[in-house]
Amino acid sequence: MPEKRTVAVGIIGLGARAETLLASIFLIPEIRISSVCDVRTERIEKILSIFDAHSAPRPKTYTDYHDLIRDSETEAVLVPTSWNSHLTIACECMKHGKYAGIEVGGASSIEELWQLVHAAESTGVSCMMLENCCYGRNELMALNMARKGLFGELIYCECGYEHDLCDDVSMDLENHFERAIHNQHRNGDLYPTHGIGPIAKILRINRGNRFLTISSHSTKARGFVSARRKKSLPDVLFNNGDIVTSVIHCANGENITVTHGVSLPRPYSRDCRVQGTRGIWLENTDGIYIEGRSPKREALDAAGNPYWTHEWEKVSAYYPEFDHPIWRDYSKNTFGGHGGMDALALQAFLDAVMRKVTPPIDVYDCAAWMSITCLSEQSVAMGGMPMPFPDFTNGKWIDREPEIPSKWSLNEVF
């Protein structure tokens, strides 16, 4: 283990996401924010006021991200900027020898993903997507259970991002909110990584398995238009369907259904399902069923004929035995945003920077997950035609070198 020390970290992009990240960062003593950057000076002033409120030393400030990256004091950079700038900035960071922690979002082209991969391979420096949902308690327990064989051989998974964002997105076109602009002009799965990240890790994508093809279909788009009409705002055509459904086929024979929906009324869900030959975890029922372990009872149909019923067990019933080691202690004292997941993702990134090793979500993961957006867009435009995934590993997925053991691993449970 590396000696504990403080890492000087810069932040590029000081919008709302940067503010929520700071809520976790101020509670992690090994992180010192040395520099911040935004093109808007009012955002810089707001961020500095947050530092003052926490009695934290003020960082250096920049309005040009190139200057922050060139800052010799800064060792690593967090990039919670607009979606379209994540990869350009990450490439620049790696070319200057600095780890980049990029926020979530989809890619706009396959070309920019290859640029990301080539930047990491040519410099020997990596980037990590700060996909906090990979460190969710239930997602990590499902990983642990899968590695212990409880689900049997994995056959089929589901995941997604379903979240009623009508008020946030449909009202913000006039403010040039980037998410609104993407929904206005594009038609595909714009936000795949919250769901696909944990599922990809469970299925060992890029380490013995990979995505082969994706076929996507999109519904009509009515949700955002309806929300704007209720607020008496001008009609605007939104191109992205209210529900986008994609099916990914994997090299080892599994299928994954991925759903994106942010414009219709509903509670939040990431739609996770892990189905194997011996059992299942289903997020939307808060349930687990394991053959030979979960309750099964005989019942009678209306004609008096016997049949077997299979009963769900609560996910929480599996915590005592199968909670991931990360959460065994952390669950007693969680901190930071999104139920503690933000802090875990940040600590995983910090650990890789300290040890100068490949992070648990590496550049190949970033490329594969983010490619879903542009590939689903192409598939929708072609009537659901399957689109092939590039092999961003160039064949290394078949037999990659084992990762260096780490408590933060998302491939194995150490």
Q: Is residue 91 part of a domain?
A: yes
Same domain? For 124 and 209 the reply is no
Q: Is residue 35 part of a domain?
A: yes
- How large is the angle between the packed helices 341-355 and 16-25, nearest 10 degrees? 70
Position 2 scores a pLDDT of 55
Same domain? For 154 and 113 the reply is no
Q: Residue 58 carries which side chain, given as an amino acid letter?
A: R
Estimate to the nearest angstrom the gap between the alpha carbon of 362 and the chain centroid: 12
SS3 126: coil
Same domain? For 91 and 147 the reply is no
Q: What is the pLDDT along the chain (414 residues), one digit of tens a residue?
A: 456 789 999 999 999 999 999 999 999 999 999 999 999 999 999 999 999 999 999 999 999 999 999 999 999 999 999 999 999 999 999 999 999 999 999 999 999 999 999 999 999 999 999 999 999 999 999 999 999 999 999 999 999 999 999 988 887 777 778 899 999 999 999 999 999 999 999 999 999 999 999 999 999 999 999 999 998 888 899 999 999 999 999 999 999 999 999 999 999 999 999 999 999 999 999 999 999 999 999 999 999 999 999 999 999 999 999 999 999 989 988 888 899 999 999 999 999 999 999 999 999 999 999 999 999 999 999 999 999 999 999 999 999 999 999 999 999 999
Same domain? For 156 and 256 the reply is yes
Q: Is residue 349 part of a domain?
A: no
Position 341 scores a pLDDT of 96
Q: Residue 208 carries which side chain, given as an amino acid letter?
A: G
Q: Residue 84 carries which side chain, given as an amino acid letter?
A: N
Stated as kind and residue range, the H or E segment containing 159 is strand 154-162
Quote the percentage of the chain above a pLDDT of 90.
92
Domain end, chosen from 132, 164, 193, is at: 132
Closest CA to 142 of 339, 319, 402, 345: 319
Q: Is residue 251 part of a domain?
A: yes
Q: Is residue 43 part of a domain?
A: yes
Q: Residue 397 carries which side chain, given as an amino acid letter?
A: W
- Domain CATH number, residue 19: 3.40.50.720
Determine the Cα–Cα distance for residues 122 and 138; give it in Å rounded to an integer.
36
pTM over 0.85: yes
Same domain? For 176 and 319 the reply is yes
Estimate to the nearest angstrom the gap between the alpha carbon of 353 and the chain centroid: 20
Stated as kind and residue range, the H or E segment containing 277 is none
Position 171 scores a pLDDT of 77
Same domain? For 379 and 260 the reply is yes
Q: Is residue 170 part of a domain?
A: yes
Same domain? For 102 and 194 the reply is no
Position 381 scores a pLDDT of 98
Position 5 scores a pLDDT of 87
Reading the block at residue 54, the tokens are 């926490």
Position 53 scores a pLDDT of 97
Position 3 scores a pLDDT of 64
The boundaries of the domain holding residue 225 are 134-330+365-398
Same domain? For 226 and 371 the reply is yes
Position 332 scores a pLDDT of 87
Same domain? For 100 and 144 the reply is no
**Per-residue pLDDT tens digits for 327-366:** 998 998 888 889 999 999 999 999 999 999 999 999 999 9
**Per-residue pLDDT tens digits for 121-138:** 999 999 999 999 999 999
Q: Is residue 355 part of a domain?
A: no
Position 412 scores a pLDDT of 97
Same domain? For 46 and 189 the reply is no
Reading the block at residue 84, the tokens are 């379209």
Same domain? For 222 and 288 the reply is yes
Alpha-carbon distances of 151 from 203, 290, 317, 328, rounded to whole Å? 12, 7, 16, 21
